[in-house]
Amino acid sequence: MPLGLLGKKLGHTRVYDASGVLHPVTVVLAGPNYVMQVKTQASKDGYNAVQLGFDDQKEQRLTKPLLGHIKKFNGKAVKRIKEFRNFSKEVKPGDTVGATLFVPGDFVDAIGVTKGQGFEGVVKRHHFSGGDSTHGAKGFHRRNGAIGQRLFPGTVMRGMRMPGHMGQVQRTAQNLEIIQVHEADNLLLIKGSCPGAEGDYVIIRESKKRPKGWVRPVSVSTSKKAAKAAAAKAATTTAAPAKK
């Protein structure tokens, strides 16, 4: 996790990029993030990491152990603390980082808790088709059917898809492109959707699959007509001039 920030999902909108293309984006408040602690390989911690704090909080609302940890490094009371290992930016306790860690064109991963849907049946939770609506079907329109395999093994198998609690689990949306960065307001405009509802906290980290400096591969046409045209063009450019 080379670079990362704690943020808050504010909402959704649409913006134009430099080429005039309209993109749907998620607006994330990504700062200020306070550097609470810096861990190094040479210290007693034994690994490199940076602790970031986000969103101011009253001191009386924190537990005494957490408040003592914050005061030890002369930090300020915050609602969320997250540790990022192998942070690639040189920082020290007391520094502030924000949305400027990223630039338009970077790719990030957004980690958050999805919206809770409550107790749901198999049709909504697992996209079952349900039973017939006609032909004498009664009370079987949104059921999941038999679950016991009749005589053998005669038990409910572990992992069977059934009704239950839906949503409110941690999910990661990968390879999201940053369209705009508003430095004055510490806002990141990220293409696509991030997990969670408006007002939820999210973790924005540098994409693992598309880190900084990643270049999108150029698509090559493999159609026979395009290949034949390219071969003919290459032959004409490399052919020797005819003798008189």
The full set of domain ranges for the chain reads 117-167
Q: Does 242 have pLDDT greater than 60?
A: no
pLDDT digits (tens, 9 = 90+) for 43-98: 899 999 999 999 999 999 999 999 999 999 888 899 999 999 999 889 999 899 99
| Mean pLDDT, range 210-225, rounded to an integer | 77
Please report the pLDDT score of residue 217 as a whole number: 83
Please report the pLDDT score of residue 125 as a whole number: 95
Please report the pLDDT score of residue 13 as a whole number: 96
The structure's pTM equals 0.80
Phi-psi label, residue 27: left if phi above 0, alpha if psi -120 to 50, beta otherwise = beta
pLDDT digits (tens, 9 = 90+) for 112-143: 999 999 999 999 999 999 888 888 888 889 99
- In the block, residue with structure tokens 């520094």: 95
Q: Does 220 have pLDDT greater than 80?
A: no
Q: Does 244 have pLDDT greater than 60?
A: no
Residues 6+ apart with CB under 8 A from 214: 107, 207
pLDDT digits (tens, 9 = 90+) for 142-180: 999 888 888 888 888 899 999 999 999 999 999 999 999
Task: Using DSSP, state whether 238 is helix, strand or coil.
Answer: helix
Rounded CA separation 208/109 (Å): 8
Residues 6+ apart with CB under 8 A from 60: none
Query: Measured at the alpha carbon of residue 78, what is the angle toward residues 117 and 72, in degrees to the nearest 5?
Result: 140
Rounded CA separation 103/123 (Å): 42
Is residue 190 a contact partner of residue 179, using CB atoms and an 8 Å limit?
yes
Please list the alpha-helical segments (H only) found in the chain: 64-72, 122-126, 224-238
Is residue 153 a contact partner of residue 209, using CB atoms and an 8 Å limit?
no
Give the pLDDT band of residue 239 (cuts 50, 70, 90).
low
CA distances from 213 to 102, 106, 138, 206, 208 (A): 12, 8, 60, 11, 12
Select the more confidently predicted residue: 57 or 222: 57
Q: How far is CA 222 from the centre of its chain?
A: 33
Please report the pLDDT score of residue 216 as a whole number: 83
Give the pLDDT band of residue 16 (cuts 50, 70, 90).
very high
Select the more confidently predicted residue: 72 or 221: 72
Please report the pLDDT score of residue 113 as a whole number: 97
